[in-house]
Amino acid sequence: MRALRYFVNNLDRIGGYAAQHAVLIVIAIVIAVVVWVSVGIMVRNSRRMARGVLAVASLIMSVPSVALYGILVSIPGLGLSRQSAVLALVLYAMLPIIRNVYVALNGVDPAVMEAARGMGMSQRRILFRVQLPLATPVILAGVRVSVVMMVGIATLAVFIGERNLGVLIQQGLVRTRSDMIIVGAVIVSVFAVFIDYLFNKLERVLVSPGIRGDAS
């Protein structure tokens, strides 16, 4: 099979592309989690503000990936750079993360919240000791969706200078090489499945069995 032969003969090259792909996703998801979880926490008590933020996030999500990369490249200071690729991925992660944070924090049982207030806990302590721990499974689900989505969208960053797994697909199309396209597509798919598996394991580590049971 040509695709398998191409994979075996180009392991070093493919490994380099996979490493660059992983680095791009790790940078983007770390920034996205820090920024969008913080935004979700800030808008949790304001339905009007949350609707506005989610509307903007939905608008960004509706922009085609190639178009968004093109817009970011035209911004002074970004151009054809990794910064443009990272920013695009961070923007696409906005909707699933903020939406899940907002829904999860506001979905905590009111009786639990009332009990925490009755114990004399401040709003800050309730947030960090009660709401966030109970909301963790739903928040992780949003992050999980974002990361899996990033794996595919990151391939298009090849058009703005990134040298990741998207190179295999792009060069395969240019050269009419189906083996390169198949190898690139399969590796990206396996990458996404592997990340989904890692998040499943991460949830088991971060979330107590009792909370997992409630979430399910």
Long-range contacts, stretch 109-113, CB < 8 angstroms, 24+ apart: 109/134
DSSP 8-state code for residue 83: H
215 is a domain residue: no
Query: Token pair for residue 33?
Result: 């989690």
212 in a domain, yes or no? no
pLDDT at 216: 47
- Say whether pTM exceeds 0.85: yes
CA angle in degrees (0–180, nearest 5) for 140-144-148: 175
In a domain, 216, yes or no: no
Please indicate, yes or no, if residue 29 is contained in any of the structural domains: yes
**Contact partners, residue 211, CB within 8 Å, separation at least 6:** 133, 134, 136, 137
Q: Is 174 part of a structural domain of the chain? A: yes
Mean pLDDT, residues 147-174: 90
CATH of the domain at 12: 1.10.3720.10
Which pair of structure tokens corresponds to residue 66?
A: 């190639």
Is 214 domain-assigned? no
Q: What is the chain's mean pLDDT, rounded?
A: 89
Domain containing 36: what range? Answer: 2-207
- Total domains in the chain come to 1
> Which tens digits make up the pLDDT trace of 78-112?
888 889 999 999 999 999 999 999 999 998 888 88
pLDDT, position 209: 67
* Alpha helices by DSSP H, 43-131: 47-62, 65-73, 82-92, 94-106, 110-118, 123-126
